[in-house]
């Protein structure tokens, strides 16, 4: 038997660990340390169980409607999916189909090359500069599409809307996807660009700032034509991506704006305090506009710190990859969790 030639082989993405240790401090997957709004839990409790017999709304109209109102766009400009991973994967499949190489930075979200390989999309990875900043000129050459996170992951660096406008403008013949998974933590969104340019798609998620990683909701906003194309592919793939519970909880989360803003503000306050403490401990890092800090220590190896934190039941993320193998990505937890991290680091660094 030799069926190897029939198989679509791919090297899969490796998500951060989801350990379940009692008393652990989990700062490895950029989750929100606070729960979603109480009314989200209430909406789930109130779910009509009889509805589970039925398929969910394939168009997810209530959720796309709530998002459209919130972001002042038409509901035909909104696409929702099972986390932004699902939305991004659909967008790769839909928009990166020219056969020309797509472009994304050498240091970025490590799912992009996996989707590109899965869908057999050729790609090139322009190098970030020595400060991990995007070199926008690198995105002004022939390509089959562009995807860049803003803020970038895992660096946390935010680029200005003007940088993206320049990139979008320079590429009228391809689609530029801006992955704004972390934009709510102090960045300025590129959403206004969707009204000015037809070739830009902005993707966001409920997993970070909206504290709903477990519910799996992501969305894209763009012009109506792009959203139609996305829906055509989605409906050719799986009509019912969004389950009843996710739809109900998602709508509630959007309604609870004051709670959302307060929770994000708390994460930002803790992040800014963490920057001071990490500096005192001898770390340097790019200035983060996300809910994590990407830090390197002037003496101690990141891989050692990672292991030693783990023995203390503190989980952070370490990437054994070129240019970043001496960095730790530390998600922002509660003030108490961060205190425990600083205490542990102090002990380790003694
Ligand atoms: N984009 C970036 C840059 C991310 O870091 C993540 C989180 N791993 C995602 C997208 C996907 O998040 P989710 O599928 O939970 O929305």
17, 81, 91, 111: residue to mutate for ligand 1 pocket, most atoms within 8 A of CB = 111
The DSSP element (H or E) to which 202 belongs, if any, is strand 200-205
pLDDT tens column, 234-289: 999 999 999 999 999 999 999 999 999 999 999 999 999 999 999 999 999 999 99
pLDDT tens column, 296-343: 999 999 999 999 999 999 999 999 999 999 999 999 999 999 999 999
Distance, in Å, from the CA atom of 254 to the CA atom of 80, rounded to the nearest integer, reads 14
Q: Is the pLDDT of residue 20 over 90?
A: no
What domains, with CATH codes, occur in the chain? 20-36+258-349 (3.90.1150.10), 38-255 (3.40.640.10)
Distance 98 CA to ligand 1 centre (A): 25
Distance, in Å, from the CA atom of 114 to the CA atom of 330, rounded to the nearest integer, reads 23
Distance 89 CA to ligand 1 centre (A): 11
Average pLDDT for 183-205: 98
Q: What percent of the chain is modeled with pLDDT above 90? A: 96
Q: Count the neighbouring beta carbons within 10 Å of the beta carbon of residue 247.
A: 22
Q: Is the pLDDT of residue 58 over 90?
A: yes
Position 21 confidence tier, pLDDT thresholds 50, 70, 90:
confident
Q: What is the DSSP letter of 140?
A: S
- Give the pLDDT score at 143: 98
Distance 16 CA to ligand 1 centre (A): 11
Residue whose entry in the numeric block shows the structure tokens 């459209």: 68
Position 15 confidence tier, pLDDT thresholds 50, 70, 90:
confident
Ligand 1 atom 1 nearest Cα: 181
- Give the pLDDT score at 155: 98
Distance 59 CA to ligand 1 centre (A): 22
pLDDT tens column, 115-153: 999 999 999 999 999 999 999 999 999 999 999 999 999
- All residues at 6 or more sequence positions from 285 whose CB lies less than 8 Å from its CB, including other chains: 156, 275, 278, 293, 294, 295, 296, 327
330: three-class secondary structure by DSSP:
strand
Ligand 1 site, CB within 6 A: 83-85, 109, 149, 153, 179, 181, 205, 207, 213, 218
- Give the pLDDT score at 1: 85
The span from the first CA to the last CA of the chain, in angstroms, equals 59
Ligand 1 atom 6 nearest Cα: 181
Contact present, 254 and 80 (Cβ < 8 Å): no
Q: Is the pLDDT of residue 16 over 90?
A: no
User: Which of 151, 161, 285 shows the shortest CA–CA distance to 208?
Assistant: 151
Distance, in Å, from the CA atom of 62 to the CA atom of 43, rounded to the nearest integer, reads 14
C-alpha distances in angstroms, 349 versus 13, 108, 302? Answer: 32, 29, 12
pLDDT tens column, 71-87: 999 999 999 999 999 99
27, 28, 81, 84: residue to mutate for ligand 1 pocket, most atoms within 8 A of CB = 84
pTM: 0.97
């Amino acid at each position: 038997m030799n069926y190897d030639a029939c198989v679509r082989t791919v090297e899969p993405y490796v998500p951060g660990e989801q350990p379940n240790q009692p008393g652990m401090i989990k700062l490895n997957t950029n989750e929100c340390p606070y729960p979603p709004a109480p009314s989200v839990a209430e909406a789930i409790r109130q779910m009509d169980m009889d509805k589970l017999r039925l398929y969910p709304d394939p168009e997810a109209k209530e959720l796309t409607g709530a998002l459209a109102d919130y972001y002042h766009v038409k509901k035909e400009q909104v696409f929702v999916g099972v986390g932004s991973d699902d939305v991004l994967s659909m967008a790769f499949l839909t928009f990166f189909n020219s056969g020309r190489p797509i472009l994304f930075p050498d240091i970025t979200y490590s799912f992009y090359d996996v989707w590109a390989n899965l869908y057999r999309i050729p790609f090139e990875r322009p190098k970030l500069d020595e400060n991990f900043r995007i070199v926008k000129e690198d995105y002004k050459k022939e390509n089959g599409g562009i995807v860049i996170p803003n803020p970038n992951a895992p660096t946390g660096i935010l680029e200005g809307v003007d940088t993206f406008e320049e990139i979008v403008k320079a590429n009228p013949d391809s689609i530029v996807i801006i992955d704004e998974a972390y934009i709510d933590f102090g960045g300025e969104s590129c959403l206004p660009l969707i009204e000015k340019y037809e070739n830009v798609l902005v993707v966001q998620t409920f997993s970070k700032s909206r504290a709903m990683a477990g519910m799996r909701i992501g969305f894209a906003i763009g012009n109506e034509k792009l959203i139609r194309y996305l829906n055509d592919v989605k409906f050719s793939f799986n009509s019912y991506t969004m389950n009843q519970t996710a739809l109900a909880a998602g709508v509630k989360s959007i309604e609870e704006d004051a709670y959302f803003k307060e929770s994000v503000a708390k994460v930002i306050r803790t992040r800014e305090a963490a920057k001071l403490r990490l500096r005192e401990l001898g770390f340097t890092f790019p200035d983060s506009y996300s809910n994590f800090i990407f830090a390197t220590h002037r003496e101690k190896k990141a891989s050692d710190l990672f292991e030693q934190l783990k023995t203390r039941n503190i989980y952070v993320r370490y990437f054994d990859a070129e240019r970043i193998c001496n960095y730790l990505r530390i998600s922002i937890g509660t003030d108490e969790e961060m205190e425990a991290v600083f205490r542990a680091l102090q002990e380790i660094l003694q």
